[in-house]
Structure 1
Amino acid sequence: MSQLADFIHQKRQQKPILSMTHVVYGYPSVEESLSWMERLMQEGVDFIEVQFPFSDPVADGPSIVAACHKALEQKLDVETCLSQLGKLAKNFPDSRIVLMSYLNPMYRFGLDKLAKRAAEENILGLILPDLPIEQAATYQAACKANGIDPVWLVTPATPKDRLAMLAGQASGFLYCVARSGVTGHSVHEGKSKVNVLDDYLAEIKTHASAPMGVGFGLRHREQIEQLTGKADIAILGSALLDAYNNGGQDQGIKLIKDLFH
């Protein structure tokens, strides 16, 4: 079992479902994004998915796209980001940081170097949504050599044979996108939609030995309750960013407490 999967396993002995919150590094400034991450860890979130911004974040909806573009008005670099995240990881050992970005900035930084530096800073998982696993042999080898888990994504539109392949190769956790499309507003109400999501997660579970995280469109307590017992991690992205934009850190923390008690 990888370090990341072991952390999830241990935490799941204490909680029915874990929380992962999404923060865009550098939004609205580097200092404020780091302050927000620290507050989240102080409040006891289990994971922070930190997004290093890119100009064309194709998996993201309007809220996160706008935050990325605002962040990129500053000069950001991956090395500084990793070092700063490492300090947070050291100060808050009860939480974990997973770094998410797109292939372009990480490829420019160097995938071998990325895996090595992530390991040195106790960042145990990397998410690159636009890197197909078929073209990721070098990246996978670098991750394996450094004890890092590459986190793969599946969606309801993923063909069953490919879903089985990705789920079978997952190690730290598998990122299960709850619906087709980009991050942001979504309607999960309705018995038929609930059943479709349940069937989708049940299908994944037949192939995956790794823990399962579910994200995209989560913003209500009922959705978290629906996932309990069917997934290990509920991932909160655009809803948390919207709350933060509307009322700062306090409003964001209120949302987390409302959703996860």
Structure 2
Amino acid sequence: MSQLANYINAKRESKPILSMTHVVYGYPTVEESLTWMGTLLENGADFIEVQFPFSDPVADGPTIVAACHKALEQTLSVEQCLKDIGQLAKKYPESRLVLMSYLNPMYRYGLDKLVERCAEEGILGLILPDLPYEQAGGLRAACDKHGIDPVWLVTPVTPKDRMAFLASNAQGFLYCVARSGVTGNSNHDGEGAQTELQHYLASIQSDSSAPLGVGFGLRRREQIKELEGHADIAILGSALLDAYNQGGQETGIALFKELFSH
């Protein structure tokens, strides 16, 4: 079993569901983004999904797109991002950090080098939403060599045979998109929608031995509670960034604590 899966399974013994918070590296500045990550880790975030920004983040909604564009007004370096995340990984050994981006900037950096550097910096997971499994043979081989988990995504409209294939090949965890579309506003409210979500997660679990993370549209405590027993990680992205934009770290932490209080 992978390092990420072991970490998730061990932490789940004492928590009904784990927290993953999404932060855009470099937004609004590199220093402020790193300070924000540190604050989240100090307040008990189990994971941070660190997004290295790209100009066309196709899976992301308007809040995260705007943050990526703002961050890219600076000159950002993949190498410096990895070093900065590595410092956080060393300082907060009770949590885990995963790197999320898109293929273009990571390919330019070099995928083999990326995986090797992730291992050196204690980054155990890699999320590239626009890299299909079938085209990731080189990346998968490098990840196997260095003990890094490539994290695959499935959605409610993923064909059943492909969902089963990706679920059976998941390692650290499988990223289950809670609804169709991009990150941001929720449309999985109401009893019917929740039942549908639970059936979707149950169908994935039948094919996967890896833990399940659920994201896209989570904004309220009851949504997190309804995932308990059906998933292992609740992923908080646009809602957290909206709160941060409205009132800085204080407002962001208030939302985090509201959603993940046990």
Query: What's the RMSD between the two structures over aligned residues?
Result: 0.5
What is the distance in 2 between the residues matched to 1:165 and 1:34?
Answer: 36
What is the distance in 2 between the residues matched to 1:89 and 1:135?
Answer: 29
**TM-score computed with the length of structure 1 as normaliser:** 0.99
Q: Which amino acid letter does the alignment assign opposite residue 9 of structure 1?
A: N
Q: Is the 8 A contact 2:178 2:188 kept in 1?
A: no
1:8-47 matches, cutoff 5 A: 8-47=8-47
Q: Which amino acid letter does the alignment assign opposite residue 237 of structure 1?
A: G
What is the distance in 2 between the residues matched to 1:187 and 1:125?
Answer: 28
Unaligned stretches of 5+ in structure 2?
Answer: none
For residue 64 of structure 1, what is the aligned residue in structure 2? 64
For residue 193 of structure 1, what is the aligned residue in structure 2? 193
Deviation at 1:187, TM superposition (A): 2.8
What is the distance in 2 between the residues matched to 1:245 and 1:137?
Answer: 39
Deviation at 1:203, TM superposition (A): 0.3
Pick which of 179-188 and 208-217 moved more: 179-188
Q: Is the 8 A contact 2:22 2:48 kept in 1?
A: yes
3-state SS, counterpart of residue 19 of structure 1: strand
Deviation at 1:115, TM superposition (A): 0.4
**TM-score computed with the length of structure 2 as normaliser:** 0.99
Q: Which amino acid letter does the alignment assign opposite residue 130 of structure 2?
A: D
What is the distance in 2 between the residues matched to 1:72 and 1:214?
Answer: 27
Deviation at 1:191, TM superposition (A): 1.8
Pick which of 238-247 and 189-198 moved more: 189-198
Q: Alpha-carbon deviations, 1:186-232, whole Å to 9, x = none? A: 13222211111011000000001000000000000110011001000
Q: Alpha-carbon deviations, 1:141-186, whole Å to 9, x = none? A: 0111100000000000000000000000000000000000000011
For residue 127 of structure 1, what is the aligned residue in structure 2? 127
Corresponding pairs, count: 261
Q: Alpha-carbon deviations, 1:222-252, whole Å to 9, x = none? A: 1001100100000000000000000000100
- After TM superposition, which residue ranges in structure 1, 4 or more long, deviate above 2 angstroms? none
What is the distance in 1 between the residues matched to 2:188 and 2:169?
Answer: 28
For residue 143 of structure 2, what is the aligned residue in structure 1? 143
Q: Which amino acid letter does the alignment assign opposite residue 183 of structure 2?
A: T
For residue 209 of structure 1, what is the aligned residue in structure 2? 209
For residue 240 of structure 1, what is the aligned residue in structure 2? 240
For residue 92 of structure 1, what is the aligned residue in structure 2? 92
Q: Which amino acid letter does the alignment assign opposite residue 223 of structure 2?
A: Q
Q: Is the 8 A contact 2:179 2:187 kept in 1?
A: no
What is the distance in 2 between the residues matched to 1:186 and 1:37?
Answer: 24
For residue 256 of structure 1, what is the aligned residue in structure 2? 256
What is the distance in 1 between the residues matched to 2:224 and 2:191?
Answer: 15
For residue 79 of structure 1, what is the aligned residue in structure 2? 79
3-state SS, counterpart of residue 234 of structure 1: strand
Q: Give aligned-pair identity as a percent.
A: 72
Q: Which amino acid letter does the alignment assign opposite residue 99 of structure 2?
A: L
